Amino acid sequence: MSVAVQAFLNADLPNELIELLEKIILEPSPFSENQHLQNLLILTAIKADPARVQDYIQKLDKYDAPEIANICINSGLHEEAFDIYKKTQSHGDAINVLIEHIVSIDRAAAFAESVDTPEVWSRLGKAQLDGLRIKDSIGIIISLSV
């Protein structure tokens, strides 16, 4: 298996590699649960065909979520990073993506309501304060101190 993968990489055939990895990972096989192959599939898609990344994030669950999310952020795939963090219940990281990269306080507020954790509310309150949404921020700070 590794020889075939290496051959595709050496020949700079990312789309063909994606097709091979899809057959190996998405269809039942002894390699379906292999973390390295799942990582390779997602990383190859990030570079060669970003439109496929979201689907892989939803279908797969053995990839290295924190590393893949970070690479997504660095590649401008912010929604994908948010979905990884949300899927793995890394709520603090998820709200940071909404605030710092997607730049949507309204979506961050909706997310905070859905997960309802002090860490997320605190981060939202700080973001609202930084964005001069003083009244909203004060409401969150008061509710956290009760």
pLDDT tens figures, 75-133: 999 999 999 999 999 999 999 999 999 999 999 999 999 999 999 999 998 888 876 55
pLDDT tens figures, 38-78: 999 999 999 999 999 999 999 999 999 999 999 999 999 99
* E strand residue ranges, the chain: none
Each domain of the chain, given as residue ranges in start order, spans 1-77, 89-146
pLDDT for 35: 96
Nearest partner of 67 among 52, 86, 54, 85, judged by Cα: 85
Instruction: Give the predicted TM-score (pTM) of the model.
Output: 0.84
